[in-house]
Structure 1
Amino acid sequence: MKGEHVLVASGLGAVSGGGLYALTPGGGVQQLDARSTTGFAVEPGAAPRLARLLWTDDDVEAPGTLLISDAAGDETAWTIDALREPHGVLWREDGGGLVVVSTLTNAILWLDPDRREVVRTWTADADEPGDAWHLNDLVVHDGRLLASAFGRFRTHRGWAADGARDGAGIVFDVATGADVLRGLTCPHDPTPLDGGWLVCDSASRRLLRLDAAGTVEEAVDLGGFTRGVAHDEEHVYVGISAHRLAGADEGRAAVVALERATLAEVARWELPCQEAYGLGWLPAALAEGVRRGSAAAAVGGDGAVAVAGVAAPVPAGGAAEQREDAGGGRLRRFLRGLQP
């Protein structure tokens, strides 16, 4: 935990199922909800709500569903016809509602969730309907709304052709169209940090650290499809997925903790789902409200939703490194840092 906050991962999987998972230093992984989820975001303010998007499994006929939960355990669902294959979501800092990514329609939607209205739609330029750019995640930086995309492709999933997406990925200003970062390969999660950027260069299996101008300063190969980034004062957390198009049914997702200064791996959680999508910090009371409000959760006797067979965080290097850390090494310092 970070103060009174809990690190949460969203996950999904056609075979494994998914949901929301709380990552804990002593107990490993607790399942808060059992519905496969892509992006999620915590509302600013004193009584925040959680907004999250349910995974639609690439079904072109399936409208996306937005779930909003609060600390009291109340939950509302809104199925939005204009939202297809939902990915990223963020709350507007001015209190004006939500912005979400409709990947399959090549669009970004501004939503008023209380009135259940689509207020505005921005659509990327392409020659035909469908997922041309593979828009995915959103971030506000210096007052500008930025989005990540696989590239400015003209046709539905043109990025899927062999070699087409290599280096074509961008992070761009939605209002002006100007590139902020370029030369990426299937980017997700552009995250401003320490005067520069962290970006999941997903198809190259790497986390990139870039300077403010977009020059790569460090690249860490994490061994899988990288997606989902969070951080605290000492660590960066990154999701790693089994690739959906390359044997994902056989694998499982994980979250790794890296030292913020060096990007050296210090711990790892194994998730019970095939893919990780998002990472973020939830207020502990809100995480508990999500758990209590989820009819799909399997509640244990102590009120926690434990995932059977999931171990506590495993230090990089396995049991041998854990023995070496017994005198007070990086892992123990890391776990203490998560305590409230």
Structure 2
Amino acid sequence: MIETTALPLPHGITLTCRSSGERGRPVLLFLHGFPEAAFVWDPLLAHFAQPQHGGYRCVAPNLRGYAGSSAPTEVTAYRAKHLVLDILALIDAEAGGPGGRLAALVAHDWGGAVAWGLAAQHPERLERLAILNSPHPGTFLRELQQSPAQQQASAYMNFLCRPDAARLLAEDDFRRLWPFFTNMGAADGPHAWLTDAVKDQYRAVWRQGLEGGLNYYRASPLRPPTADDPGARAVSLPRALLDVRVPTHVLWAMYDTALPPALLDGLEVYVPQLQLTRVPDATHWIVHEQPERVTRWLAAALD
């Protein structure tokens, strides 16, 4: 059974979390991206909590700014250091107190951006890292600075930074948001997973507000440069924020038009203990499209 609870954290942020499995068991923590919410992980929460599949304590928070979690109005409250602090506090709450350690941190999209940073800065807090289509900041910065193809693929980020983006996205039953899912060019044609029931789940999330999720883009300088904003061209990241010294499993859907495969080039420089799995017939939304494949991959990573 999956439960939803509101968890107040010591630094004043409350995260609403979906969870399954007994407290006291090894913890799997799942982080979602934009424009999603914690519910996208439900099949994995239910699976890995079962005794025959590890009997884990499985927790998926709605990140700050999403679906009932605290949503500060200041853009600066969405900088990476604050997002990492949220997850460290959540690990303390779920994994045995201060200094607790996860069996694995599993993350997609913006959740992956938080997870990469946490793994680089606090490797002692997790046994392994599992990433799905979320670029490592080192390769992402390189491509945003040097690759016209990546700059074009990420051009939507500058739209999401606009002050009127939330209003525009909400118009006409979220007319501009649905193409985030349907314009990825899936090899198998129509997006069968995007049923009316799933759309209703997304509507329920989006109606609680879009500004929090958009503030992730506004707070980050990792975006394509424009005539008015140097974006990634003005950024330099120290290696201390890039090197990941924990066993890391990356699952990459190759039909991700926003995150081309060039982002995988040189990844092993930053992640020495890397296992990379490419999926040729999936898009950025692989968690929805191929949940059974994602489950098998994560089971192998945990074995």
- Normalising by structure 2, what TM-score? 0.29
Question: More helix by proportion, 1 or 2?
Answer: 2
Question: More strand by proportion, 1 or 2?
Answer: 1
Which is greater in Rg?
1
- Normalising by structure 1, what TM-score? 0.26
